[in-house]
Structures are given as C-alpha cells and as structure tokens.
Amino acid sequence: MKKVLEFKFPFYRFAGLDLYNCYASVYLFLQGATAGNVDYYCQAMEGKGCNECWNCADSLQEKSERLNQLFGMIFDGRWTTQRDKWSGERSKIQKGLIEKYSDFESTTTQTMDFLTGLTGYKCQKITGEFKEHIIFSIDAGKPVIAKIKNDDTFRVIIGYDGDELIEPDYRPSDNAPDPNNPTAYDEIKYLYVYEEKIPQKYTFLDVLKAMENVMGSDFAEDIWYDIRYNIFSGNICDLSVAEVKKRFERFRNLMGIMPNRGHGIRLPFGDKKLLKGLGVDVERYWEFFSTLEEQGHLLHERGYMLNAISTSIIELQLNDTDAFPWDRLGLVNAAEQILESIIDCDLKILTAIKKAIYKT
C-alpha cells in the first residue's frame, strides 16, 4: 500500500537538514501556508548553488528562511545577534550557551520543546515501532521528522510505499540527500510525530528575552569597544604598513559575517502574516519590527562596506616596513566611521528590544 502527502514546502538553501530546517518546512505544511510567488527559476534547485537572484521573493522558500533565522535567533543568535571578540576567545554569552546546550541530544530536546511550544503543536518523541507510527501519522495527514542514527541530521517523512519511506525534494538545502536513496527504517534513531494544535507554551516575549540576553551580554562585556580600540587606537600613521594590514586582516575576519547577521536580524520580522500565525500582535510591535528591518538592512550594507575597505587596505602595494602613508589615511577614517555607525545600529536594535519587552 502507498500513500504520499502533497508536501511542496521548501527547505532553507543555506542550511543542511538540521532540526530548524526540517521543522520550518513541516510547520509551514501543518499551517497550510501559501505564498504569492509559486513559479520561479532557482538555479540552486539544479545543484548550481544560490546566486542571490531573489527570484524566490514572496515565496514559501522565503518563509522557510525567515523561520530558520527566527528559530536560530531564539537559541543562540550565532548568525544574528551574537558578536565575536577581537581576541578570538569566546564571549561570556557564548560560553554560557555552550554550557547550557552541552550536548546534541539535550540541545535537540530543548530545541523541539521551544519550537513546538512557540508554534503551538503537540509533539511526541517515538523511539520504537517506527513503521506503525509513520503509517498512522501519514494517514492522519501529518509528516514526520526522523533523526538519523549515525550523524546529527534529520529527515522529513511524507509518505510510505510498503516498506519504503518517501521523502520530499530537499533541494536547495545544503548537502541534500540523494533522492534515489531514501531513508530506511534501520537508519532511524527516533521520530518526532505531531498531533493537534495546542495553546502556546512560549510567546513572542520569550523571543525578545532571548535576543536581549545575547546582545545585552555583549554590550556589557564591551565587545564593540574592545574591537574599536584594537583596530583604531593611536595614530595609524605611526605604525608600519605591515602592522596596519595585520590589524585590518583581523578586522575583515570579524566583519565578514556582519552582512549575514544584519540580513538575519531583519528578515524574520518582514512577513507579518507569518508572525500573526505565531500569535504575535503585529500592530502592537510595529515600531520594533520597523526598527529591526531598518537597522538590520544598514548592518548588512555597512558590513559589506567594511569588508571592501579592509580588503583595499590589505591589498595596498606598499613596503611593509614603511610607516603607513598619511595620504591613505582616508581609508582608515572611513572604516572607523562605518564601524561607529554599526555600533549605533546595534544600540538601536538593543534599545528597540528592551522597549518591546517593557511594552509587553
């Protein structure tokens, strides 16, 4: 006997099959999500990689990306709210999060608790009799998430055909499995089976508190000001070209992720329909959403500016032992002013988060 769900909900293109990516697609299915853009060309679906064409704007692919960024922001903000130290050592919040989410299985348990608690779905973890539970769930019209035994990835089961499992097309997600080699029952460690809608255990306030926890800690630790001191302290023209280039190589390394983090901060709050489905009072938090979209966009663009300026300084054809020339100081001054504007963006974002928490 064969049964397959009409599952056409995409997976985030810049992530592998982690729990966020699989649950985002399953959640969109359970919600019956729709989008205006359903017919577009995506070269990543052909295995050619994403070229940022944004043909997928206003599509289910974009909704999947927004959910992935939101889910990640809740837990550690690695791609959104976290900032890295000049020294390369872990920040206070990074150490705390590593201690809190000490191993894969405890992290997975806490992650699923929060995701289902925020989205309002009852979920059961199944450790045996997989075939019976999968058939029951698929017959009830609900896909299943399966944890694979030998690695830290998951799969989405959307159907069965006798003893064979049927999965969706995971493209354009990173390292999508071979569609001709579906998951077998003996490869499954456990299942997550979803049941009826239930009242939310967690709310938008918990999301805001998670964001404040990370960004507030980083500001309390003076991470930005330590970066500014190490890159711009003293008269740059008193330093050798080699030393200035060394500083800007580290600076570029730190700023390389900033465009992605700016994108990740603004993106989750741009789809008001999606937010309403998560129980968010969109009108009440309109100022917060507007601030994060604006400041996230500025972080994205200014991050690219700093990368370009840093690269220009590093690639100057000068004698490394000479003093840094005053007539190139404009590049350094431009980088310093853009960094100041990035710090200001973060301050405005943190202030908006605190105001939204207070309003709640």
pLDDT tens figures, 236-264 = 989 999 999 999 999 999 999 999 999 89
| Residue 271 pLDDT | 84
Q: How confident is the model at residue 26 (pLDDT cuts 50, 70, 90)?
A: very high
- 3-class DSSP assignment, residue 237: helix
Average pLDDT over residues 74-93: 91
* Tens-digit pLDDT profile for residues 112-144: 999 999 999 999 999 989 999 999 999 999 999
The yes-or-no verdict on residue 277 having pLDDT over 70 is: yes
Closest C-alpha among 124, 123, 156 to residue 17:
156
Token look-up 């309002």 returns 120
The yes-or-no verdict on residue 52 having pLDDT over 90 is: no
Q: Mean pLDDT across the chain, nearest whole number?
A: 89
| Residue 10 pLDDT | 83
Number of alpha carbons in the 13 Å side-chain half-sphere of residue 18: 18
Percentage of residues in the chain having pLDDT higher than 90: 60
Token look-up 């405890």 returns 106
| Residue 9 pLDDT | 82
Per the omega criterion (within 30 degrees of 0), is the bond before 172 cis?
yes
143-168: buried (b, 16+ CB within 10 Å) or exposed (e) per residue?
bbbbbbeeeebbbbbbbbeeeebbbb
Q: How confident is the model at residue 43 (pLDDT cuts 50, 70, 90)?
A: confident
Alpha helices by DSSP H, listed for 130-240, are 130-139, 204-220, 223-232
Query: Contact, 112 vs 105, CB < 8 A?
Result: no
Closest C-alpha among 191, 215, 104, 212 to residue 152:
104
Enter the tokens of residue 336: 């310093």
Q: Residue 191: in which H helix or E strand, if any?
A: strand 188-197
Average pLDDT over residues 62-90: 88
**Could you tell me the residue ranges of all domains in the chain?**
2-197, 204-359
* Tens-digit pLDDT profile for residues 141-162: 999 999 999 888 999 999 999 8
Q: What is the CA radius of gyration of the chain?
A: 23
| Residue 56 pLDDT | 65
Enter the tokens of residue 53: 């064409």
| Residue 51 pLDDT | 66
pTM of the model: 0.90
Question: Which residue did the predictor score with more confidence, 46 or 76?
Answer: 76
Closest C-alpha among 68, 25, 23 to residue 193:
23
